Structure formats: C-alpha cells, structure tokens
Structure 1
Amino acid sequence: MAQQTWLITGVGGGFGRHLTEQLLDRGDRVAGTVRDLDRMTALKAKYGDRLWLAHLDVTDFAEIKQVVNRAFAAFGRIDVVVNNAGYGLFGAAEEFTDEEVHHELDTNLVGPIEVTRAALPFLRTQGAGRIIQMSTYGGQATNPGATIYHASEWGIEGFMESLAREVEVFGIGVTIVEPGGARTEFRYGSSRLATPLSAYDNTPGAMTRMIKNLPPAAGDPAKMAEAIIASVDSSPAPRRLVLGSDGYKYIHDALLERLAEVEAQETSAATTDAPLPEQATR
C-alpha cells in the first residue's frame, strides 16, 4: 500500500489518538491538531518528521484556516482529512447556558465545516482526496437528554451528505462515521454535563443523572479505528460507516420508525399539491 498523508483534528485522545498511532505504525504521515501539544511529546519523539503537529481549537475559525494551510504546505499533499475533534454535551434542553449551547455547536458543527472548507481548495486542485467526518449513531437516532449534542451531529451529517454530492466530480469522497458506544475519552472524560434542574428528576431528560451509571461501552476503539482506516481503500467512498452492534441497532430502528411515519402519510401529503397547469385552466 502506498504511503498516505492524513490531517486529523483532535489527536490528543480518543479516536484521533488511535487513528494517529495506527497510521504512523504502518508508515503513513499524519498532520495532527491538538489543544495540548504536551500530550504528543512521546509520539513526536518516536515518529519524528512523519508526525506534524499544530495547536488548534476548532472554535477559533481564523486559526483553522491558518493551520490547514500550514499542514498542506508542510507535507505538500494530504490524502485524507479527518474531522475528529468534538465532545458530548448531555442534559435537558433548558438546563444549558447560552454559552454551553454555542460552544457545542461551534465545536461539533461549525468547526468541522470550516476545517472542510479550508481543505477543499487543496483537495480539489489535487483531483483526489477523502473527507472523513466522525459522527455517532446519534446523528441518525436520538435520546432525550442529548438535545444540543444531537443538533450538532444531525447538522454536520446534513452538511456532509450534501457536500458528498457537490465534490464527487472532483474525485473527493466523503464518509460519515457513526460509531456506537466506545471505550474512549469521549464517554469517560471529555463529555460535559449540564447543571441539573430538579424539574427533570425522574424524567427521560435526566441524562446527567443516568450517564454516570451506564455500564462500560461495548465498542473497541482500536478496532473501530482499523475499520475507519480500511474504509479509505473503498471506492467509491462509503457514504456512512456504522460501527458497533449497538450503533447498528439504534440507527436501524430509528430509520424504520421514521420511514413508517412517512409512508403512512403518502396519500395525505399529496392533498396539498397545487393543480397542474392544464387542470387549473379548465
């Protein structure tokens, strides 16, 4: 397999770290962004010039463009861009502050959009490339107590699905990755919880009370990273990559439920059509 070069946001932990380590182990090059460069000292010492690092907070939109430009300049060509940086925000909708809502959307939605927009001119000029968007089964299915998180993931999935149709003519593929629960820092450290309101005690929206008592996640992040890397060799690019038996079940059940609701309205939906022109003149 020819050496590939990857740009990955959020390489300090979770899927970003697993991807980076596996890619470097197999001989690829990685341009990685992280908020705390000290977390990458040992990996940089081990892999040297094959690991290029830069500080990036994906809510700093001006910094995004600068870092992406520098990454492409450093390696000359980047084959795969992975939007991985993000975090979960859990609680009922009214339990969040305005600042918490805006930061979640800036991190999980606007940030990846801006990273992608910054990379697209380079990929388009190359005439080839792959964009991988880390999402979740929660980009297709929902749970109470995760309203703002779902808003960010459904939003980025809509952007990426539309983008895939825009850029395929330039040889650029887009894949949305939808893992189930995984044993990463996302679930066991980086996720944030709202300040609880007593009104939501003992209701379905009491995610902040339940999440602390969840059993260990089923997903193996190392195996999931392997599957993500392998997906780049698929042509055409898979539009979605579902990982984990729980992720499959949640997405499958949600899609069946939504399809049933739509199909039940086939006849009633048509009653709101305007008359055809020839019918209107009779």
Structure 2
Amino acid sequence: MTLTWLITGVSSGFGRELAEQLLAGGDRVAGTVRRPDAVADLVETYGDAFSVHPLDLTETDRIREVVDAAQARFGRLDVVVSNAGYAVFGAAEELTDEQVTHQLDTNLLGSIQLIRAALPHLRSAGGGRVLQLSSSAGQVAWPGSSLYNATKWGVEGFCEALAAEVAPFGIGVTIVEPGGARTDFGHGGLRFAEPLDAYDGSPAAAVRAFRDGGPPGVVGDPARMAAAMIASVDQSPAPLRLVLGSDAWTAVTQVLEARLAAVRPQRDVAFSTDA
C-alpha cells in the first residue's frame, strides 16, 4: 500500500534519509525545508511523488498553512514525522535569551504546532501515525545540554499525553529516541553558547568537545535507524517509544532504573502526606 508521509526537515540528517528510503520504496513524501534548492535532486529523481514546502518551524503562524497544502497536494496524509530540530549546547548561564527562545520555538513549539495542525487530517482519514523525533536526551539529562533536554523532555510529555488522546481515532503516536548517529547533525544541527571562564573544567564544559566533531565511537547507522522508524509504522499498536542505538538503550535503561531506585525509598514519606 502506498503511503503519504509529511516529514519536516528533509534536507539533511534523518529527514533526508527517511525521504530517500520512502521515495525509493514507492511512497509519497511531502517534505519541509528552509532552502528548497537543498532537495532539488529529489525533485528531479522522484517528480510528482515528492512535494517541497518551504518552512522554518519558528514561523508557527505558517505551519498550519503548510500542513494543509501538503494534504491538498496528495489528498491525504498517512504518517506525520516531526523531525526538524537542532541542539544548542552550553551551560544554562552561558546561553543567550535569543538562543533559549529560538531553541524552544523550533524544537518544542514547532513540533507541537505541526502535530496539532495534522490531527484534523488524520482524524478525517480515520487514523494514521505521528512520529516525533526526540533523542536519548529526551530521557537522559547531561550537563551542558539543559536547554536541548528541556525541549526533548517537553515534547515527550506532550506526545505521551497525546497518544492517549488520539488513540480512539485510530491515530498512533511514537516517540523516537535515537542515540548518536553518523549524520551531518554536527554541521548546522549543533550550535554552541559562548563559553564563560567560570565553567572551564566543569561538567558542563564537556560539551565543548563537540565543536571539534564530538567524541569518537558514534555507533548509530542513520540508514538502519530510518529503516526502523519506517518499519514501526506497520506495528500495531504503535510503539509509544522507539529507542535506537545501543548507546541510547544503555543510557535510557540506566537512567530509568536509577530514577526508580531513588523514588522507591520515598514511599513511606509519600503516603504519610495523604489526608
């Protein structure tokens, strides 16, 4: 069955990988980009199966218009992938107000508004899927990535509640939590705060290494990760979370176990506060 996908941020990274695999497999893709020339080769290769929609997610007043245009172009939307985003690294005190606002507008508000705009179309079609790209950083907090963590934790909370809201309409929601992947995320997808001397040698300063390409040993294969995302659409019911990469699985399971270990001893105190 041919599916129609709406994917944000198809010019690079996971968005590009998803678009290429889906189009090669015969599906149709409506992709958003900030620069249409970045996907000119896909337009040339796949023609009418691929439609391009210029969009910067910070332009939240245009998101519904773009989603409606994608629906009109193909007549239906089956899968919506909220993929576009980036990371700002640096200690919370090092961040500028502009960096904070732009990161929240893109990763959190942009994702929320995209999904909200797509829901009427999915409901009218009798169902569909939403894939929200998060990260292992949606479960694990690291010094120096507090703002990025805030956006990913925020969108995960939104999507977890959303999944229960839209299940009666046949709409499945999956939060994708990849670990490190060999994408071009570090070239444009990563931005940095201006370092303060006070944080030299602190835990937050460790993220500064990413300026030089990041730590070695990144294991994630973006093609395999994209293929796993695509395969998840055939699963019923939709998996609420899809953890990708051995590094992500290890980090997420460790932090969840540690979180439970910290909360369990508080049972008596918790119950003692009941009226």
> Do these two structures clear the TM 0.5 threshold for a shared fold by scoring above it?
yes
Q: How does 1:153-168 map to 2 (within 5 A)?
A: 153-168=152-167
3-state DSSP of counterpart to 1:94:
helix
Larger radius of gyration: 1
Q: Is the 8 A contact 1:15 1:84 kept in 2?
A: yes
The share of aligned pairs that are identical, in percent, is 57
Q: Which residue of 2 aligns with 1:280?
A: none
* Alignment partner, residue 113 of structure 1: 112
Query: Given the superposition, is the C-alpha separation of residues 140 and 208 from structure 1 closer, same or farther in structure 2, using an over 3 Å criterion?
Result: closer
TM-score, normalised by the number of residues in structure 2: 0.98
Name the count of aligned residue pairs.
273
Q: Is the 8 A contact 1:196 1:208 kept in 2?
A: no
Determine whether 1:238 maps to 2:239. Answer: yes
**2:26 corresponds to:** 27
* Cross-structure match for 2:36: 37
Q: Distance in 1 between matches of 2:58 and 2:94?
A: 22
Match of 2:269 in 1: 268
| Contact persistence 1:183–1:216 (CA under 8 A) | no
Q: Quick one: which amino acid aligns to residue 264 of structure 2?
A: E
Q: How many angstroms does 1:216 deviate by?
A: 4.3
Unmatched 5+ residue regions in structure 2?
none
Specify the alignment match of 2:71 in structure 1: 72
What residue is the counterpart of 1:255 in the other structure?
256
Residues 178-236 of structure 1, C-alpha deviation per residue, up to 9 Å, x if partnerless? 00100112234421011000000001011442223511421000000000000000000
**Residue by residue, what CA displacement relative to the aligned partner does 1:45-86 show, whole Å, maximum 9, x if unpaired?**
000000011100011011101100100011111100000000
How far is 1:169 from its partner? Answer: 0.1
Distance 2:200 2:136 in 1: 26
Structure 1 match to 2:222? 221
Q: Take 2:206 and 2:58, find their aligned partners in 1: how far apart are those partners?
A: 25
Q: Which residue matches 2:16?
A: 17
* Shift, 1:88, TM fit: 1.0
Q: Report if the CA contact (8 A) 1:92-1:144 is conserved.
A: yes
TM-score normalised to structure 1 length: 0.95
Which residue matches 1:94? 93
Measure, in 2, the Cα distance between the counterparts of 1:204 and 1:118: 39
Instruction: Tell me how far apart the structure 2 counterparts of residues 216 and 48 of structure 1 sit (CA, whole Å).
Output: 38
